[in-house]
Chain A
Amino acid sequence: MDDLGLLRDLGHDLEHEPPATLVRQRHRLAEAIAGRTGRHRGRGWILIGVAAAVTAALILVPTVLLRGGGKGAEDPLGRSTHRAGATKALNILVLGTDGRGDKFAPRSDTIVLLHLPRDNERISAVSIPRDLMVPLPSCKTRSGEATAARTGLINSAYTVGGLGCSVRAVEKLTDVRIDHAMSIDFTGFKRIVSGMGGVEVVVPRAMRDPKAGLNLSPGRQMIRGDQALAYARARQGLGDGSDLERIKRQQQLMAAMLKRAKEKQMLSPVRLPMFLNMMAGTMETYGQLSVPVMKEIARILERTETDTARFSTIPVRPHPDDPNRLALNEPTARKLLQTFRS
Protein backbone atom coordinates (compact mmCIF):
# COMPACT_ATOMS: atom_id res chain seq x y z
CA MET A 1 0.00 0.00 0.00
CA ASP A 2 1.37 3.43 -0.85
CA ASP A 3 1.50 6.45 1.41
CA LEU A 4 -1.90 7.79 0.33
CA GLY A 5 -3.50 4.40 0.88
CA LEU A 6 -2.08 4.23 4.38
CA LEU A 7 -3.21 7.78 5.02
CA ARG A 8 -6.76 6.97 3.85
CA ASP A 9 -6.81 3.99 6.20
CA LEU A 10 -5.76 6.19 9.08
CA GLY A 11 -8.50 8.63 8.11
CA HIS A 12 -11.14 5.89 8.24
CA ASP A 13 -10.02 4.93 11.72
CA LEU A 14 -10.14 8.50 12.97
CA GLU A 15 -13.54 9.23 11.48
CA HIS A 16 -16.68 9.73 13.55
CA GLU A 17 -20.23 9.37 12.30
CA PRO A 18 -22.35 12.53 12.46
CA PRO A 19 -24.22 12.56 15.80
CA ALA A 20 -27.93 13.15 16.12
CA THR A 21 -27.19 16.49 17.73
CA LEU A 22 -25.95 17.79 14.39
CA VAL A 23 -29.59 18.78 13.86
CA ARG A 24 -28.84 21.71 16.13
CA GLN A 25 -26.49 23.08 13.54
CA ARG A 26 -29.22 22.69 10.96
CA HIS A 27 -31.50 24.57 13.30
CA ARG A 28 -28.86 27.29 13.60
CA LEU A 29 -28.80 27.62 9.82
CA ALA A 30 -32.60 27.63 9.67
CA GLU A 31 -32.62 30.50 12.17
CA ALA A 32 -30.09 32.43 10.12
CA ILE A 33 -32.18 31.82 7.01
CA ALA A 34 -35.25 33.11 8.80
CA GLY A 35 -33.22 36.15 9.85
CA ARG A 36 -33.49 35.36 13.53
CA THR A 37 -29.83 35.57 14.45
CA GLY A 38 -30.18 38.83 16.31
CA ARG A 39 -31.91 37.49 19.36
CA HIS A 40 -29.89 38.02 22.49
CA ARG A 41 -30.28 34.57 23.94
CA GLY A 42 -27.58 32.55 22.26
CA ARG A 43 -25.82 29.27 22.45
CA GLY A 44 -23.35 30.97 24.72
CA TRP A 45 -25.83 30.97 27.50
CA ILE A 46 -26.53 27.30 27.03
CA LEU A 47 -22.88 26.51 27.62
CA ILE A 48 -22.39 28.68 30.66
CA GLY A 49 -25.91 27.80 31.68
CA VAL A 50 -24.97 24.20 32.39
CA ALA A 51 -21.86 25.19 34.25
CA ALA A 52 -23.53 28.00 36.14
CA ALA A 53 -26.51 25.93 37.14
CA VAL A 54 -24.44 23.02 38.38
CA THR A 55 -22.00 25.32 40.11
CA ALA A 56 -24.88 27.10 41.73
CA ALA A 57 -26.33 23.86 42.97
CA LEU A 58 -23.02 22.63 44.30
CA ILE A 59 -22.09 25.92 45.92
CA LEU A 60 -25.37 27.25 47.12
CA VAL A 61 -26.93 24.18 48.52
CA PRO A 62 -24.32 23.56 51.21
CA THR A 63 -23.92 27.29 51.58
CA VAL A 64 -27.53 27.79 52.52
CA LEU A 65 -26.93 25.49 55.46
CA LEU A 66 -24.62 27.84 57.15
CA ARG A 67 -27.51 30.14 57.65
CA GLY A 68 -28.29 27.84 60.55
CA GLY A 69 -24.93 28.91 61.92
CA GLY A 70 -21.87 26.69 62.20
CA LYS A 71 -21.67 24.00 64.87
CA GLY A 72 -24.74 22.32 66.32
CA ALA A 73 -26.81 23.83 63.58
CA GLU A 74 -30.45 24.56 64.10
CA ASP A 75 -32.94 25.60 61.49
CA PRO A 76 -34.50 29.07 61.71
CA LEU A 77 -37.39 27.71 63.76
CA GLY A 78 -35.04 26.41 66.41
CA ARG A 79 -35.58 22.69 65.88
CA SER A 80 -32.58 20.45 66.03
CA THR A 81 -31.51 19.39 62.56
CA HIS A 82 -29.55 16.41 63.68
CA ARG A 83 -30.67 13.19 62.10
CA ALA A 84 -28.91 9.97 62.86
CA GLY A 85 -27.13 8.60 59.82
CA ALA A 86 -30.11 8.81 57.51
CA THR A 87 -28.16 9.60 54.39
CA LYS A 88 -29.58 8.48 51.09
CA ALA A 89 -28.83 9.23 47.50
CA LEU A 90 -30.55 12.32 46.11
CA ASN A 91 -31.61 13.43 42.66
CA ILE A 92 -31.79 17.16 42.08
CA LEU A 93 -33.12 18.85 38.98
CA VAL A 94 -31.32 22.08 38.12
CA LEU A 95 -32.66 24.50 35.52
CA GLY A 96 -30.86 27.44 33.99
CA THR A 97 -33.50 29.86 32.72
CA ASP A 98 -33.24 32.89 30.49
CA GLY A 99 -35.60 35.05 32.53
CA ARG A 100 -34.22 38.57 32.64
CA GLY A 101 -37.21 40.33 34.07
CA ASP A 102 -38.47 41.37 30.63
CA LYS A 103 -41.85 40.70 29.14
CA PHE A 104 -40.92 37.31 27.71
CA ALA A 105 -41.92 34.24 29.68
CA PRO A 106 -38.74 32.60 30.97
CA ARG A 107 -37.56 29.44 29.26
CA SER A 108 -35.43 26.69 30.68
CA ASP A 109 -32.45 26.67 28.35
CA THR A 110 -30.43 24.39 30.52
CA ILE A 111 -31.77 21.27 32.15
CA VAL A 112 -29.44 19.19 34.28
CA LEU A 113 -30.28 16.19 36.41
CA LEU A 114 -27.83 15.84 39.26
CA HIS A 115 -27.28 12.65 41.22
CA LEU A 116 -25.64 12.85 44.63
CA PRO A 117 -24.69 9.29 45.53
CA ARG A 118 -24.96 7.72 48.94
CA ASP A 119 -21.41 6.49 49.14
CA ASN A 120 -18.10 7.89 48.13
CA GLU A 121 -18.98 7.68 44.50
CA ARG A 122 -18.76 10.37 41.94
CA ILE A 123 -21.53 12.89 41.43
CA SER A 124 -23.25 12.38 38.08
CA ALA A 125 -24.75 15.16 36.03
CA VAL A 126 -26.83 14.45 32.94
CA SER A 127 -27.90 17.34 30.80
CA ILE A 128 -31.11 17.15 28.81
CA PRO A 129 -31.17 19.06 25.51
CA ARG A 130 -33.85 21.71 25.43
CA ASP A 131 -34.97 20.70 21.93
CA LEU A 132 -35.96 17.20 23.01
CA MET A 133 -39.55 16.19 22.18
CA VAL A 134 -41.19 14.46 25.15
CA PRO A 135 -44.62 13.49 26.48
CA LEU A 136 -45.64 16.42 28.68
CA PRO A 137 -47.88 15.86 31.68
CA SER A 138 -50.95 17.94 32.43
CA CYS A 139 -49.79 20.96 34.41
CA LYS A 140 -51.32 23.94 36.16
CA THR A 141 -50.42 27.18 34.40
CA ARG A 142 -49.42 30.31 36.25
CA SER A 143 -52.99 31.54 35.97
CA GLY A 144 -54.30 28.33 37.52
CA GLU A 145 -55.81 26.47 34.56
CA ALA A 146 -54.79 22.90 33.81
CA THR A 147 -53.25 22.11 30.43
CA ALA A 148 -53.89 18.87 28.58
CA ALA A 149 -51.17 16.25 28.48
CA ARG A 150 -49.45 16.41 25.09
CA THR A 151 -46.22 15.92 23.23
CA GLY A 152 -43.92 18.93 23.17
CA LEU A 153 -40.48 20.37 23.80
CA ILE A 154 -39.06 19.56 27.21
CA ASN A 155 -38.23 23.20 27.87
CA SER A 156 -41.82 24.30 27.30
CA ALA A 157 -42.81 22.57 30.57
CA TYR A 158 -41.14 25.37 32.53
CA THR A 159 -42.71 28.12 30.44
CA VAL A 160 -46.15 26.60 30.88
CA GLY A 161 -46.15 25.35 34.45
CA GLY A 162 -42.95 26.41 36.17
CA LEU A 163 -40.53 24.31 38.14
CA GLY A 164 -43.14 21.80 39.32
CA CYS A 165 -44.20 21.03 35.77
CA SER A 166 -40.55 20.57 34.72
CA VAL A 167 -40.02 18.11 37.56
CA ARG A 168 -42.96 16.00 36.46
CA ALA A 169 -41.96 16.12 32.80
CA VAL A 170 -38.41 15.00 33.57
CA GLU A 171 -39.63 12.29 35.93
CA LYS A 172 -41.94 11.01 33.22
CA LEU A 173 -39.17 11.09 30.65
CA THR A 174 -36.43 9.50 32.71
CA ASP A 175 -38.39 7.36 35.14
CA VAL A 176 -36.14 8.79 37.85
CA ARG A 177 -37.57 10.03 41.14
CA ILE A 178 -36.61 13.68 41.66
CA ASP A 179 -36.17 14.74 45.27
CA HIS A 180 -35.52 18.42 44.82
CA ALA A 181 -35.38 21.04 42.12
CA MET A 182 -34.01 24.51 41.72
CA SER A 183 -33.72 27.04 38.94
CA ILE A 184 -31.35 29.91 38.47
CA ASP A 185 -31.63 32.68 35.90
CA PHE A 186 -29.34 34.81 33.80
CA THR A 187 -28.64 37.40 36.47
CA GLY A 188 -28.08 34.66 39.03
CA PHE A 189 -24.74 33.87 37.46
CA LYS A 190 -23.60 37.46 37.72
CA ARG A 191 -24.77 37.67 41.30
CA ILE A 192 -22.96 34.51 42.28
CA VAL A 193 -19.75 36.09 41.07
CA SER A 194 -20.50 39.43 42.65
CA GLY A 195 -21.57 37.79 45.87
CA MET A 196 -18.23 36.07 46.10
CA GLY A 197 -16.51 39.41 45.65
CA GLY A 198 -15.41 38.48 42.14
CA VAL A 199 -13.31 35.65 40.81
CA GLU A 200 -9.67 35.55 39.94
CA VAL A 201 -8.71 34.84 36.34
CA VAL A 202 -5.48 35.05 34.39
CA VAL A 203 -6.03 36.96 31.17
CA PRO A 204 -3.30 36.04 28.67
CA ARG A 205 -3.63 39.22 26.62
CA ALA A 206 -5.85 42.25 26.35
CA MET A 207 -9.47 41.28 25.74
CA ARG A 208 -11.71 43.86 24.23
CA ASP A 209 -15.19 43.20 22.98
CA PRO A 210 -17.29 46.36 23.01
CA LYS A 211 -20.39 44.42 21.95
CA ALA A 212 -20.18 42.31 25.10
CA GLY A 213 -18.99 45.18 27.30
CA LEU A 214 -15.66 43.47 27.84
CA ASN A 215 -12.46 45.36 28.45
CA LEU A 216 -9.66 43.53 30.27
CA SER A 217 -5.94 44.11 30.37
CA PRO A 218 -3.57 41.14 30.50
CA GLY A 219 -2.57 39.56 33.80
CA ARG A 220 -3.96 38.03 36.97
CA GLN A 221 -6.98 39.93 38.21
CA MET A 222 -10.33 39.83 39.93
CA ILE A 223 -13.33 40.21 37.66
CA ARG A 224 -16.87 40.87 38.77
CA GLY A 225 -20.37 39.96 37.61
CA ASP A 226 -20.85 41.75 34.31
CA GLN A 227 -17.25 41.29 33.26
CA ALA A 228 -17.34 37.63 34.24
CA LEU A 229 -20.41 37.05 32.14
CA ALA A 230 -18.88 38.88 29.19
CA TYR A 231 -15.62 36.99 29.70
CA ALA A 232 -17.46 33.68 29.64
CA ARG A 233 -19.55 34.51 26.60
CA ALA A 234 -17.11 36.47 24.42
CA ARG A 235 -16.31 34.76 21.19
CA GLN A 236 -15.32 37.23 18.53
CA GLY A 237 -11.74 38.39 18.43
CA LEU A 238 -10.53 36.45 21.44
CA GLY A 239 -8.22 33.47 21.46
CA ASP A 240 -8.80 31.59 18.25
CA GLY A 241 -12.41 32.70 18.25
CA SER A 242 -13.72 29.17 18.49
CA ASP A 243 -16.29 27.51 20.70
CA LEU A 244 -13.63 25.15 22.02
CA GLU A 245 -11.54 28.06 23.16
CA ARG A 246 -14.55 29.55 24.83
CA ILE A 247 -15.53 26.32 26.56
CA LYS A 248 -12.02 26.15 27.99
CA ARG A 249 -12.32 29.69 29.26
CA GLN A 250 -15.64 28.85 30.87
CA GLN A 251 -14.25 25.77 32.54
CA GLN A 252 -11.42 27.84 33.98
CA LEU A 253 -13.93 30.35 35.21
CA MET A 254 -16.02 27.63 36.84
CA ALA A 255 -12.95 26.16 38.52
CA ALA A 256 -12.09 29.63 39.81
CA MET A 257 -15.64 30.06 41.07
CA LEU A 258 -15.65 26.76 42.92
CA LYS A 259 -12.30 27.58 44.49
CA ARG A 260 -13.48 31.00 45.50
CA ALA A 261 -16.70 29.62 46.91
CA LYS A 262 -14.83 27.13 49.04
CA GLU A 263 -12.58 29.84 50.42
CA LYS A 264 -15.49 32.11 51.16
CA GLN A 265 -17.51 29.41 52.78
CA MET A 266 -14.74 28.48 55.15
CA LEU A 267 -13.30 31.86 55.87
CA SER A 268 -16.25 34.14 56.03
CA PRO A 269 -19.54 32.47 56.93
CA VAL A 270 -20.71 35.83 58.17
CA ARG A 271 -21.01 37.06 54.60
CA LEU A 272 -23.22 34.23 53.48
CA PRO A 273 -26.62 35.53 54.55
CA MET A 274 -25.83 38.64 52.53
CA PHE A 275 -24.84 36.49 49.61
CA LEU A 276 -28.09 34.57 49.85
CA ASN A 277 -30.08 37.76 49.94
CA MET A 278 -28.40 38.82 46.73
CA MET A 279 -29.41 35.57 45.13
CA ALA A 280 -33.02 36.03 46.12
CA GLY A 281 -35.19 36.51 43.09
CA THR A 282 -32.79 34.78 40.74
CA MET A 283 -33.41 31.38 42.23
CA GLU A 284 -36.43 29.26 42.83
CA THR A 285 -36.60 25.96 44.66
CA TYR A 286 -39.10 23.14 44.61
CA GLY A 287 -39.89 20.46 47.12
CA GLN A 288 -38.69 20.52 50.67
CA LEU A 289 -35.28 22.03 50.25
CA SER A 290 -35.31 22.73 53.96
CA VAL A 291 -32.36 23.11 56.25
CA PRO A 292 -32.26 19.44 57.34
CA VAL A 293 -32.40 18.40 53.72
CA MET A 294 -29.59 20.77 52.81
CA LYS A 295 -27.59 19.48 55.72
CA GLU A 296 -27.92 16.06 54.22
CA ILE A 297 -26.85 17.30 50.83
CA ALA A 298 -23.87 18.99 52.40
CA ARG A 299 -22.92 15.73 54.07
CA ILE A 300 -23.01 14.00 50.70
CA LEU A 301 -20.97 16.73 49.09
CA GLU A 302 -18.36 16.62 51.82
CA ARG A 303 -17.60 13.05 50.99
CA THR A 304 -17.57 13.43 47.22
CA GLU A 305 -15.05 15.14 45.08
CA THR A 306 -16.96 17.84 43.26
CA ASP A 307 -14.04 18.15 40.86
CA THR A 308 -14.64 14.68 39.53
CA ALA A 309 -18.32 15.05 38.74
CA ARG A 310 -19.24 12.95 35.75
CA PHE A 311 -20.92 15.01 33.02
CA SER A 312 -22.87 13.52 30.18
CA THR A 313 -25.76 14.26 27.88
CA ILE A 314 -28.83 12.10 27.71
CA PRO A 315 -28.67 9.92 24.56
CA VAL A 316 -30.76 11.32 21.72
CA ARG A 317 -31.53 10.71 18.07
CA PRO A 318 -33.11 12.93 15.43
CA HIS A 319 -36.85 13.13 15.76
CA PRO A 320 -38.58 11.05 13.06
CA ASP A 321 -41.19 13.76 12.40
CA ASP A 322 -39.10 16.91 12.57
CA PRO A 323 -35.47 17.32 11.45
CA ASN A 324 -35.00 20.24 13.85
CA ARG A 325 -35.97 18.27 16.93
CA LEU A 326 -34.53 15.46 19.02
CA ALA A 327 -36.09 12.31 20.41
CA LEU A 328 -34.92 10.23 23.33
CA ASN A 329 -32.83 7.19 22.53
CA GLU A 330 -34.58 5.02 25.10
CA PRO A 331 -32.50 1.89 25.54
CA THR A 332 -29.22 3.80 25.98
CA ALA A 333 -30.84 6.50 28.11
CA ARG A 334 -32.27 3.82 30.39
CA LYS A 335 -28.81 2.38 30.87
CA LEU A 336 -27.20 5.75 31.53
CA LEU A 337 -29.81 6.67 34.10
CA GLN A 338 -29.48 3.38 35.96
CA THR A 339 -27.31 4.95 38.67
CA PHE A 340 -30.00 7.57 39.29
CA ARG A 341 -32.49 4.90 40.29
CA SER A 342 -30.40 3.32 43.02
Chain B
Amino acid sequence: MVSAMTAPPTGARAGVPAPMPAAEADDAADATADAADSADADLIERSRTDPEAFAALFDRYSGMLYRYVSRRLGPEVAEDLVGETFLIAFSRRARYDLSYADARPWLFGIISKLVSRHHRSEAARYRALQRSPVDGHVEGPADRVAAGVTATASRPLLAEALAGLPRRDRDVLLLVAWGDLAYEEVAQALGIPVGTVRSRLNRARRKVRAVLGDTNPMNEEE
Protein backbone atom coordinates (compact mmCIF):
# COMPACT_ATOMS: atom_id res chain seq x y z
CA MET B 1 0.00 0.00 0.00
CA VAL B 2 1.90 3.03 -1.21
CA SER B 3 1.02 6.25 0.45
CA ALA B 4 -0.73 8.80 -1.70
CA MET B 5 0.89 11.54 0.28
CA THR B 6 4.47 11.49 -1.00
CA ALA B 7 3.51 14.28 -3.37
CA PRO B 8 1.50 16.98 -1.66
CA PRO B 9 -1.65 17.92 -3.55
CA THR B 10 -1.31 21.03 -5.61
CA GLY B 11 -4.53 22.63 -4.52
CA ALA B 12 -5.58 23.18 -8.10
CA ARG B 13 -7.76 20.09 -8.15
CA ALA B 14 -10.69 20.18 -10.46
CA GLY B 15 -13.72 21.86 -9.03
CA VAL B 16 -12.16 23.12 -5.87
CA PRO B 17 -11.66 26.83 -6.38
CA ALA B 18 -14.88 27.10 -8.36
CA PRO B 19 -16.66 30.38 -7.75
CA MET B 20 -20.18 30.10 -6.44
CA PRO B 21 -23.35 30.05 -8.48
CA ALA B 22 -22.69 30.41 -12.17
CA ALA B 23 -25.02 33.34 -12.73
CA GLU B 24 -23.27 35.33 -10.08
CA ALA B 25 -19.82 34.46 -11.31
CA ASP B 26 -20.73 35.81 -14.73
CA ASP B 27 -21.87 39.07 -13.26
CA ALA B 28 -18.86 39.38 -11.08
CA ALA B 29 -16.72 38.92 -14.15
CA ASP B 30 -18.34 41.98 -15.68
CA ALA B 31 -17.94 44.04 -12.58
CA THR B 32 -14.28 43.24 -12.16
CA ALA B 33 -13.34 43.00 -15.77
CA ASP B 34 -9.64 42.32 -15.47
CA ALA B 35 -9.73 40.80 -12.01
CA ALA B 36 -10.44 37.41 -13.53
CA ASP B 37 -6.85 36.39 -14.05
CA SER B 38 -4.94 38.56 -11.59
CA ALA B 39 -3.18 36.79 -8.75
CA ASP B 40 -4.89 37.01 -5.37
CA ALA B 41 -2.04 39.10 -4.01
CA ASP B 42 -2.55 41.67 -6.78
CA LEU B 43 -6.24 41.90 -5.93
CA ILE B 44 -5.46 42.39 -2.27
CA GLU B 45 -2.86 45.01 -3.04
CA ARG B 46 -5.28 46.85 -5.28
CA SER B 47 -8.02 46.63 -2.64
CA ARG B 48 -5.87 48.72 -0.30
CA THR B 49 -6.51 51.75 -2.47
CA ASP B 50 -9.65 50.51 -4.23
CA PRO B 51 -11.60 48.46 -1.62
CA GLU B 52 -14.14 47.32 -4.22
CA ALA B 53 -11.50 45.06 -5.75
CA PHE B 54 -11.78 42.82 -2.69
CA ALA B 55 -15.21 41.53 -3.74
CA ALA B 56 -13.49 39.55 -6.52
CA LEU B 57 -11.87 37.37 -3.85
CA PHE B 58 -15.33 36.48 -2.58
CA ASP B 59 -16.46 35.44 -6.04
CA ARG B 60 -13.32 33.39 -6.41
CA TYR B 61 -13.27 31.53 -3.12
CA SER B 62 -16.60 31.71 -1.28
CA GLY B 63 -17.82 28.51 -2.96
CA MET B 64 -14.65 26.64 -2.05
CA LEU B 65 -14.80 27.76 1.57
CA TYR B 66 -18.50 27.00 1.78
CA ARG B 67 -17.97 23.44 0.57
CA TYR B 68 -15.15 22.93 3.05
CA VAL B 69 -17.11 24.17 6.06
CA SER B 70 -20.27 22.36 4.96
CA ARG B 71 -18.28 19.14 5.30
CA ARG B 72 -17.06 19.96 8.79
CA LEU B 73 -20.05 21.75 10.30
CA GLY B 74 -22.98 21.29 7.93
CA PRO B 75 -24.70 23.80 5.64
CA GLU B 76 -26.46 25.90 8.29
CA VAL B 77 -23.31 27.26 9.88
CA ALA B 78 -21.26 27.32 6.69
CA GLU B 79 -23.01 30.31 5.18
CA ASP B 80 -22.43 32.55 8.17
CA LEU B 81 -18.81 31.47 8.63
CA VAL B 82 -18.00 32.20 5.00
CA GLY B 83 -19.44 35.70 5.37
CA GLU B 84 -17.54 36.21 8.61
CA THR B 85 -14.30 35.01 7.02
CA PHE B 86 -14.44 37.60 4.27
CA LEU B 87 -15.29 40.41 6.69
CA ILE B 88 -12.25 39.48 8.79
CA ALA B 89 -10.05 39.09 5.71
CA PHE B 90 -11.17 42.47 4.41
CA SER B 91 -10.34 44.18 7.69
CA ARG B 92 -6.89 42.57 7.69
CA ARG B 93 -6.00 43.14 4.06
CA ALA B 94 -3.37 45.72 4.97
CA ARG B 95 -1.41 43.08 6.86
CA TYR B 96 -1.47 40.47 4.10
CA ASP B 97 2.03 39.39 3.01
CA LEU B 98 1.94 40.15 -0.72
CA SER B 99 4.77 37.72 -1.43
CA TYR B 100 2.17 34.94 -1.22
CA ALA B 101 0.40 35.08 -4.56
CA ASP B 102 -2.27 32.57 -3.52
CA ALA B 103 -4.68 33.76 -0.83
CA ARG B 104 -6.25 30.36 -0.14
CA PRO B 105 -4.01 29.48 2.83
CA TRP B 106 -4.74 32.85 4.39
CA LEU B 107 -8.51 32.40 3.99
CA PHE B 108 -8.37 28.81 5.20
CA GLY B 109 -6.41 30.02 8.23
CA ILE B 110 -9.11 32.53 9.12
CA ILE B 111 -11.92 30.06 8.63
CA SER B 112 -10.11 27.36 10.62
CA LYS B 113 -10.13 29.68 13.64
CA LEU B 114 -13.85 30.27 13.18
CA VAL B 115 -14.51 26.55 12.76
CA SER B 116 -12.66 25.82 15.99
CA ARG B 117 -15.25 27.84 17.91
CA HIS B 118 -17.73 25.17 16.90
CA HIS B 119 -15.61 22.20 17.90
CA ARG B 120 -18.34 20.77 20.08
CA SER B 121 -20.93 20.72 17.34
CA GLU B 122 -18.31 19.40 14.93
CA ALA B 123 -17.55 16.45 17.19
CA ALA B 124 -21.27 15.88 17.71
CA ARG B 125 -21.73 15.83 13.93
CA TYR B 126 -19.10 13.10 13.52
CA ARG B 127 -20.55 11.10 16.40
CA ALA B 128 -23.98 11.28 14.75
CA LEU B 129 -22.39 9.98 11.56
CA GLN B 130 -21.11 6.96 13.44
CA ARG B 131 -24.68 5.95 14.07
CA SER B 132 -26.42 6.81 10.80
CA PRO B 133 -25.50 6.42 7.14
CA VAL B 134 -24.72 9.48 5.06
CA ASP B 135 -27.87 10.97 3.56
CA GLY B 136 -28.48 11.21 -0.14
CA HIS B 137 -25.40 9.24 -1.05
CA VAL B 138 -25.43 8.83 -4.83
CA GLU B 139 -23.69 6.16 -6.83
CA GLY B 140 -20.21 7.28 -7.77
CA PRO B 141 -18.23 6.44 -10.89
CA ALA B 142 -17.42 2.78 -11.51
CA ASP B 143 -14.16 2.75 -9.58
CA ARG B 144 -15.85 4.23 -6.56
CA VAL B 145 -18.63 1.70 -6.75
CA ALA B 146 -16.02 -1.05 -6.76
CA ALA B 147 -14.54 0.36 -3.60
CA GLY B 148 -18.00 1.19 -2.34
CA VAL B 149 -18.32 -1.68 0.07
CA THR B 150 -15.16 -0.77 1.92
CA ALA B 151 -15.93 2.92 1.79
CA THR B 152 -19.40 2.49 3.26
CA ALA B 153 -18.18 0.12 5.92
CA SER B 154 -15.37 2.48 6.87
CA ARG B 155 -17.56 5.55 7.22
CA PRO B 156 -18.67 5.09 10.84
CA LEU B 157 -15.09 4.24 11.74
CA LEU B 158 -13.73 7.35 10.04
CA ALA B 159 -16.33 9.44 11.80
CA GLU B 160 -15.33 7.91 15.10
CA ALA B 161 -11.68 8.68 14.39
CA LEU B 162 -12.44 12.30 13.43
CA ALA B 163 -14.54 12.82 16.55
CA GLY B 164 -11.68 11.57 18.70
CA LEU B 165 -8.87 13.63 17.20
CA PRO B 166 -7.41 16.58 19.09
CA ARG B 167 -8.54 19.79 17.42
CA ARG B 168 -5.08 20.83 16.21
CA ASP B 169 -4.45 17.48 14.56
CA ARG B 170 -7.88 17.43 12.97
CA ASP B 171 -7.32 20.90 11.48
CA VAL B 172 -4.14 19.74 9.76
CA LEU B 173 -5.63 16.46 8.56
CA LEU B 174 -8.74 18.07 7.11
CA LEU B 175 -6.93 21.02 5.52
CA VAL B 176 -4.92 18.39 3.64
CA ALA B 177 -7.69 15.89 2.90
CA TRP B 178 -10.67 18.23 2.42
CA GLY B 179 -9.09 21.63 1.83
CA ASP B 180 -6.53 20.26 -0.65
CA LEU B 181 -3.74 22.37 0.78
CA ALA B 182 -0.09 21.37 0.43
CA TYR B 183 2.03 21.03 3.59
CA GLU B 184 3.60 24.47 3.15
CA GLU B 185 0.16 25.97 2.66
CA VAL B 186 -1.18 24.33 5.80
CA ALA B 187 1.83 25.70 7.65
CA GLN B 188 1.08 29.17 6.32
CA ALA B 189 -2.64 28.86 7.13
CA LEU B 190 -2.12 27.81 10.73
CA GLY B 191 1.04 29.80 11.35
CA ILE B 192 3.11 26.74 12.32
CA PRO B 193 6.35 25.26 10.93
CA VAL B 194 6.12 22.70 8.12
CA GLY B 195 7.73 20.12 10.42
CA THR B 196 4.85 20.53 12.83
CA VAL B 197 2.38 20.06 9.99
CA ARG B 198 4.07 16.74 9.13
CA SER B 199 4.14 15.47 12.67
CA ARG B 200 0.51 16.41 13.35
CA LEU B 201 -0.59 14.87 10.06
CA ASN B 202 1.30 11.65 10.82
CA ARG B 203 -0.17 11.43 14.27
CA ALA B 204 -3.69 12.04 12.95
CA ARG B 205 -3.33 9.50 10.15
CA ARG B 206 -1.91 6.93 12.54
CA LYS B 207 -5.01 7.28 14.69
CA VAL B 208 -7.34 7.08 11.70
CA ARG B 209 -5.62 3.91 10.51
CA ALA B 210 -5.71 2.41 13.97
CA VAL B 211 -9.46 2.93 14.12
CA LEU B 212 -9.79 1.44 10.66
CA GLY B 213 -8.02 -1.62 12.01
CA ASP B 214 -4.83 -1.24 10.01
CA THR B 215 -1.77 -1.29 12.19
CA ASN B 216 0.78 -1.84 9.48
CA PRO B 217 3.83 0.19 10.55
CA MET B 218 4.92 0.33 6.90
CA ASN B 219 2.25 2.93 6.32
CA GLU B 220 4.21 5.29 8.51
CA GLU B 221 5.26 8.51 6.84
CA GLU B 222 8.60 10.12 7.04
Residues of A within 8 A of B (CB): 1-11, 13-26, 28-30, 32-33, 240-244, 317-323
Interface of B is mostly: helix
Asked, given contacts A9-B144, A244-B76, whether A28 binds B177 with beta carbons under 8 Å apart, the answer is no
B21 CB within 8 Å of chain A = yes
User: Across the two chains, which residue of chain B brings its CB closest to A243?
Assistant: B80
A25 adjacent to B82 (CB under 8 Å)? yes
Question: B55 and A18: CB pair below 8 A?
Answer: no
Q: Which residues of B contact A241 (CB under 8 A)?
A: 117
9 intermolecular pairs with C-beta atoms under 8 Å apart: A2-B219, A4-B176, A16-B66, A18-B63, A18-B66, A22-B82, A240-B117, A243-B77, A323-B27
Cβ-defined partner of B70 (8 Å) among A2, A5, A15: A15
Interface residues on B, range: 35 or more
Contacts of A17 in B (CB 8 A): 67
Smallest Cβ-Cβ distance to A321: which chain B residue: B27
Q: Could you tell me if B83 and A6 are in contact, using CB atoms closer than 8 angstroms?
A: no
A71 to chain B, nearest CB (A): 46
* B147 with A1: CB separation less than 8 A: yes
Q: How far is the CA of A18 from the CA of B19 in the complex (A)?
A: 9
Stretch from B35-43, B102-110, B148-156, B190-198 at the A interface: B148-156
The CA of A307 and the CA of B200, in the complex, are separated in Å by: 46
Check B67–A15 contact: CB distance below 8 A.
yes
The answer to whether B212 and A3 have CB atoms under 8 Å apart is: yes
Q: Of the candidates B4, B27, B87, B173, which one forms a contact with A322 in the assembled complex, judged by CB atoms under 8 Å apart? A: B27
Cβ distance B201 to chain A, nearest Cβ, rounded Å: 10
Q: With the chains together, A1 CA to B214 CA distance in Å?
A: 12
Minimum distance in angstroms from A332 CB to a CB of chain B: 15
A33 contact set on B, CB distance < 8 A:
51-52, 54-55, 90
B residues in contact (CB < 8 Å) with A? 1, 3-5, 20-21, 23-24, 27-28, 31, 51-52, 54-55, 58-59, 62-63, 66-67, 70-71, 74-80, 82-83, 86-87, 90-91, 117-118, 121, 129, 134, 137, 140, 144, 147, 150-151, 154-155, 158-159, 173-174, 176-178, 205, 208-209, 212, 214, 219
State whether A28 and B87 are in contact (beta carbons under 8 Å apart), knowing that A7-B177, A11-B71, A15-B67 are contacts in the complex.
yes
A residues within 8 A CB of B158?
6-7, 10
Q: How far is the CB of B211 from chain A (nearest CB, A)?
A: 9
Q: Find out whether the CB atom of A4 lies under 8 angstroms from the CB atom of B58.
A: no
Given the complex, which residues of B lie within 8 Å of A23, measured CB to CB?
21, 24
The smallest beta-carbon distance between A55 and chain B, in angstroms, is 21
Please give the distance in Å from B81's CB to the nearest CB on chain A. Answer: 8
Name the residue on A nearest B30 (C-beta). A323
Residues of A within 8 A of B86 (CB): 25, 28-29
CA of A319 to CA of B23 in the docked complex: distance in angstroms?
Answer: 8
* Chain B residues within 8 Å of A319, by CB: 23
CB distance from B51 to the nearest CB of A (A): 5
